[in-house]
Amino acid sequence: MTPAKARELRDADGHRPRPGMFMPQPGTRKHRVLRFDAKYPDDAAAAQTLLAGLPEMVVEAGPLSGNPAHTLSLWYELSEYTFDGIASALVKQGFHLDNAWHARFMRVVIAFAEETQLRNMYGPQRLIKKSQDIYSKAWDHHLHGDHDDTPPDLRQDK
C-alpha cells in the first residue's frame, strides 16, 4: 500500500486524530489535555482559574470534541512545567482527575516522554570527536599482555 492510498483510506470517513489524543510533539512547547472526573463537575472550571494564573501557561476549556465540561487544554513550556507535575499539584489541591484506565495510561506515557526529553535536554553531551582520544589514552595506562618491566638497555642482545 502506498502512503497516498493510506491517506485516502484514512480520510475517506473523515477520520482525523481527535484533539487530546497523544501525538508526538517535537520541541519544548507542549499541548496536553487534562481530564477530570465527571462526578465532580466544578473541578475543571476551578482548575482552569487556578492554572490560568501561572506564568507561561495557557489554559482553555476542553477540546472541540468529546466532553469539554470535564477537560482542559494546556499549553506550556517543558522547561517550566511537566504534565505529571501539573497533575500531581492539582491532586494535592483536592481536584479529582479522571481515573479511567485510558486516562491513567496516557498520563504515564506523557510523563515518561517528558521525563526522557528533559533528561536528554539537560544531560551531558557526548563528545563524539574526542571519544577515540579518550579510549587511546585509557589504553596507554592499561597494563598490556606484552608489558615488560625490563629496562630498554637490558632488552637488547649484545
Q: Are strands 71-77 and 29-35 parallel, antiparallel or unpaired?
A: antiparallel
Domain ranges of the chain: 16-122
* Amino acid (1-letter code) at residue 20: G
Q: Mean of the pLDDT values across residues 106-123?
A: 90
Q: Residue 113's pLDDT is what?
A: 92
Q: Residue 69's pLDDT is what?
A: 78
Q: What confidence tens digit (pLDDT) does each residue in 93-107 have?
A: 999 999 999 999 999
Model pTM score? 0.64
Q: Mean of the pLDDT values across residues 95-120?
A: 93
